Amino acid sequence: MEVQVNGAKVLLTPIPGAFSNYRCDVVNGRVYSLELGRFLISNPGKRFGYCKVRMKKDDGSWKVLGVHEVVMSSAMGVEVSWWRNQTPKLEVHHLDDAKVKINNGIANLELTTRKKNMQQSSHKFGDTKRLGSDLALMIKLEFKKFDGKKSEFINGWLKLLNHEFTYSSIENVVIGKTYKNLEMN
């Protein structure tokens, strides 16, 4: 199927599975809704930077998928579950290794194992840099005084630390999952 976008023809391919109301522009990494007659908006998530889309399945339920997964699924002609169920499990890797995963065109994607993906991804989980006890204690003490949403606190610290650490590393300190033995006087 083709559609006109800004005077140019764009080839759209089916998305395997229960998504008959959608098509995919695998070259540019976008998802098109037949029902709406337009491409879905997909903004990068704050935590890991992946663009996601919310799609209505044929049974009426909704599913949120990464655009990179939809593109790979459409390009290969198989459902996302196919590579997730391989042994070892496979995942989609962005070749440009950008911190914000906005280039979801098929030329920038490859299937790889989790181990290889982690080795190739310098940004995915914060370069394995640890917070350290002093910084973790400071975060714990500041959170104790904070009167707002946990996510606002964590995002504030991410900005303050120039995104050198991941959302989850700060969140784990806040919820007491890591650095449990620190004394808070």
Alpha carbons 182 and 174: distance in angstroms, whole number: 12
Whether the pLDDT of residue 126 is over 50: the answer is: no
Does residue 164 share a domain with residue 96? no
pLDDT at 124: 47
Range(s) of the domain holding residue 91? 2-120
pLDDT tens, position by position, 156-173:
888 888 777 778 888 888
Question: Nearest to residue 182, comparing CAs of 139, 142, 133?
Answer: 133
For residue 20, what are its two tokens? 């008959």
What value does the mean pLDDT take over residues 130-157? 86
Rg (CA), the chain: 20
How many structural domains comprise the chain?
Answer: 2
The CATH number that applies at residue 33 is 3.90.75.20
Instruction: Say if 170 falls within a structural domain.
Output: yes
Does residue 88 share a domain with residue 16? yes
pLDDT band, residue 4 (cuts 50/70/90):
confident
Domain end, chosen from 77, 97, 120, is at 120
What value does the mean pLDDT take over residues 25-35? 93
Instruction: Say if 185 falls within a structural domain.
Output: no
pLDDT at 28: 92
Instruction: Say if 180 falls within a structural domain.
Output: no
